[in-house]
Amino acid sequence: MNFEYQNPTRIIFGAGNLSRLGEVAGGYGKKALLVTGGGSVKRSGVFGRAVASLTAAGIAYAECTGVEPNPRITSVARGAEIARKEGCDMIIALGGGSVMDASKVISAATLYDGDPWDMILHGQEHVYVPTEALPVITVPTLAATGSEANCGAVITNEETKVKSFIQIPLLYPKAAIVDPELTVSVPKDQTAYGVCDLITHVTEAYFNGSGTTPIQDRFAEGVILTAMEWGPKAIADGNDLAARTQIQWSALVALNGWVNVGTNAPYPVHMMEHTVSAYHDITHAAGLSIINPAWMRFAARTNTAKFVQFAERIFGLKATATDDLACALEGIDRFEQFLRSIDCPTRFSELGIDDALFETYATDTLKIVNDGQGNLPGIPVMSVADMVGIFRSAL
Ligand SMILES: [Fe+2]
């Protein structure tokens, strides 16, 4: 283990904290670009409450609405343009992962004259790594991506069908106002997808990490068990604030770096899913829910001991030995059953996706990230044929 860890995002957590938005924003600027998605924040009244808090604190605002579920680089460019024209000196993201991701990139794009796509990793490198950005405040309205307190953002180029990311310390939000009350109106399916996404964030590092991080393993298992216990409660009754609170906190800690620190893990399931959703514009976690169990069955054959640990600690199964593949696979079956129990899809056919582009997803994924030898990093590394086999097993 050899690492440096710093997450500077100030986290203000708990029901009712939306009312503090104006006071918090006053510490970072005078005029905010308020970024939102498809309009649910307006229908739920959250937008009105946010604006009331800003206005009471003397903070002006301009709006960038309509950020898509898979946020597009054109929306980033549009937001940056509004921020420049309106003279905004900070960005407030009021929405889910896509709104927060777009907001982070807008914060840097506002101060950059070139094409914002230059900042997104493609072909293994950034054309331009930003060095300055406006301060960002995140106000998540969905428990899922953990984007509120990390420095990553995933953006889609709809023209080239490339979905890739930027992850640099500059993009850590200054503050995250994490108010579980804002998630009570999230519908059942989106709540379930959030649970699937957050669990996948920790399984990636759990199964693809260095293998020398026993504390991190226990943290990850704690997140998975908590999400599996409280997730179904939040899905069954959206107004269960205790369940909403546990899921929101789980989503944040799953990807603010602390659970995964020292693992140095790549995220192969996310890399494959991003490529699939670049072509089909499916919900991120619907893609994860299909690909993750399929990937697990592939990976368990080489990394059996870790999957046995997962089966034993998460599902209470009892293995005969650390190489007990049957036990490892039984744990994966149980995990897939959990995903089905919360109505997440586990086969491509459920989304109407056939095998026509399987090879394209695989080769495109390698264009974003590869190990220099034509394989996708992970345990084990994956060739195009391996990825196609995984996709095919999930048809
Ligand atoms: Fe994710």
Q: Do domains 10-183 and 188-393 have the same CATH topology?
A: no
pLDDT of residue 379: 98
Give 150 Cα–ligand 1 centroid separation in angstroms.
12
Is pLDDT at 181 greater than 90 in this prediction? Answer: yes
Distance 243 CA to ligand 1 centre (A): 20
- Average pLDDT, stretch 79-90? 98
Distance (Å) from CA 207 to ligand 1 centroid: 15
Ligand 1 mean position, distance from CA 216 (Å): 19
pLDDT at residue 218 is higher than 90: yes
* CATH code at 188-393: 1.20.1090.10
Structure tokens at 73: 């680089």
Q: What is the pTM of this model?
A: 0.96
Sorted by sequence, the CB contacts under 8 Å of residue 204 that are 6+ apart come out as: 265, 266, 267, 268, 269, 270
- At 182 the pLDDT is 97
As a CATH number, domain 10-183 is: 3.40.50.1970
- Please give the distance, rounded to the nearest whole angstrom, from the Cα atom of residue 285 to the centre of ligand 1: 7
CB 312 within 8 A of CB 332: no
> Would you say residue 127 has pLDDT above 90?
no
Closest CA to 270 of 198, 177, 192, 354: 198
pLDDT reported for residue 2: 87
Q: Where are the domains of the chain?
A: 10-183, 188-393
pLDDT in tens, 237-283: 999 999 999 999 999 999 999 999 999 999 999 999 999 999 998 99
Tell the burial category of 323 from Cβ atoms under 10 Å away from its Cβ (0-12, 13-18, 19+): exposed
15-19, 71-75, 159-163, 347-351: least confidently modelled range: 159-163
Q: What confidence score (pLDDT) does residue 125 get?
A: 73
Residue of 298, 290, 293, 216 whose CA lies nearest to 260: 216
Return the percentage of the chain with pLDDT > 90, whole number.
Answer: 96
Q: How far is the CA of 341 from the centre of ligand 1 (A)?
A: 20
* Spacing, Cα 145 to ligand 1 middle (Å): 6
Mean pLDDT, residues 221-233 taken together: 98
- How far apart are the C-alpha atoms of 69 and 24, rounded to whole Å? 27
CA–CA dist 35, 96 (Å, integer): 11
108 C-alpha to ligand 1 centroid (Å): 22
Mean of all residue pLDDT scores within the chain = 96
What is the rounded average pLDDT of the residues 357-380?
A: 96
Q: Does the pLDDT value for residue 311 go beyond 70?
A: yes
- Residue 192 Cα to ligand 1 midpoint, Å, equals 13
Mean pLDDT across 46-74: 97
Q: How far is the CA of 254 from the centre of ligand 1 (A)?
A: 10
Cα Rg for the chain, rounded, in angstroms? 20
56 CA → ligand 1 middle, Å: 35
Give 275 Cα–ligand 1 centroid separation in angstroms.
Answer: 13
For residue 124, what pLDDT is reported? 65
pLDDT of residue 122: 75
Q: What is the mean pLDDT of residues 44-61?
A: 98
320 C-alpha to ligand 1 centroid (Å): 33
CA of 77 to the centre of ligand 1 (A): 23
- Distance between CA atoms of 70 and 277, rounded to whole angstroms? 8
- CA 197 – ligand 1 centroid, Å: 5
Q: Rounded to the nearest whole angstrom, what is the distance from the C-alpha of residue 97 to the centroid of ligand 1?
A: 9
User: For the chain, what percent of residues have pLDDT higher than 70?
Assistant: 99
